[in-house]
Amino acid sequence: MKLLPPLLAAASLAVAAAAHAQVKWDLPAAYPATNFHSVNLQQFADDVERATGGKLKITVHPNASLFKAPEIKRAVQGGQAQIGEILLVNFQNEWPIFGADGIPFLATSYDDAMKLWRVQKPMLDKKLAEQGMMVLYAVPWPPQGIYVKKPISSAADLKGVKWRAYSPATARIAELVGAQPVTVQAAELSQAMATGVVESYMSSGATGFDTKTYEHIKYWYDTQAWLPKNAVIVNRRAFDALDKPTQDALLKAAADAEVRGLEASKKANTESLDKLRANGMTIVSPPPAQLTADMKKVGETMLKEWLDKAGPEGQQLVDAFRK
């Protein structure tokens, strides 16, 4: 065997070590592995691993198995997880702009949701930078409708029902229609319906299917009230510790995931409503006129309340969105 001169040997060892040095990140997420957001996250993680030749390995932990939905943002901020997927509207009490995509009837289509994201994102970039994080990409959930046990014709029919909320805004809707709000994360929703804690809630067809809501609730009213977004956020120190090619690969995979996720959401919307029907659920589309009118009124009240809290920054966002 031919020996390398010592200096050269040391150098080649260092190169080999750098090539093999693997950075491992944990990515807590709150929705089941089969949900379209989670499938997209896994593909994002696979893309990053492939593009970096295995240098950055991201492990996705779906279904709130590592952190509960409302804890993921703090975990990423504190570095307990380097990267995570959050539901932006969960953090509206911390900063109103996080809740812009949860205001009923502000942005009600996929096009509107992405338009809203384009005006929301620069504000988010600033806020998350202050918090030592950055946002990589965001994907909307399908449009939100009302799951309810009995047929309804107006908001008055929701009085007194046990209503599952997933965010401050969905709890506020309950108050405004006279329902009884209880906050339950998606990962615990099946259980909450099975034990009778929840009789009604607003969400997408996707979450209704994920949680087998059809086993407990027979109606879904297609109000198309808003499309909340999941966002993938990363700890800034963890990002800065990566070399430039790895950072670039991560950003490229994220941009691809945003495009792919939007299409996956649209597909999940159609498919999940079909699957709910196939499992015996009645999809009421369009909803009764009085119900729509009542919910729009709820939305007007909530937009006003949101603007009061969000101040000039909020007004600027709404104006830019409506331009």
CA 173 to chain centroid, in Å, comes to: 19
Binding segment for ligand PCA (CB under 6 A), chosen from 75-83, 153-161, 192-200, 201-209, is 201-209
Q: Does 141 bind ligand PCA (CB under 6 A)?
A: yes
CB 30 within 8 A of CB 69: yes
| Nearer Cβ to ligand PCA (142/235) | 142
Site string for ligand PCA, 205-224 (x = CB under 6 A): -xx-----------------
CB 28 within 8 A of CB 38: no
Binding-site member from 62, 84, 228, 261 for ligand PCA (CB under 6 A)? 228
By beta carbon distance, the residue nearest ligand PCA is 204
Nearest approach, Cβ of residue 102 and ligand PCA (Å): 9
Binding segment for ligand PCA (CB under 6 A), chosen from 17-25, 199-207, 253-261, 302-310, is 199-207
Nearest approach, Cβ of residue 206 and ligand PCA (Å): 6
Nearest approach, Cβ of residue 241 and ligand PCA (Å): 32
Q: Does 166 bind ligand PCA (CB under 6 A)?
A: yes
Q: Is 109 left (phi over 0), alpha (psi -120 to 50) or beta?
A: beta
Binding segment for ligand PCA (CB under 6 A), chosen from 191-199, 202-210, 246-254, 270-278, is 202-210
Q: Collect all residues with Cβ–Cβ distance below 8 Å to 12 and sequence separation of at least 6.
A: 4
Q: Which long-range contacts (CB under 8 A, 24 or more apart) does 164-167 make?
A: 164/189, 164/192, 164/197, 164/198, 164/200, 164/201, 165/201, 166/69, 166/87, 166/89, 166/90, 166/201, 166/203, 167/87, 167/89, 167/90, 167/92, 167/99, 167/102, 167/228
Q: By the criterion CB under 6 A, which residues form the site for ligand PCA? A: 87, 141, 166, 186, 203-204, 206-207, 228
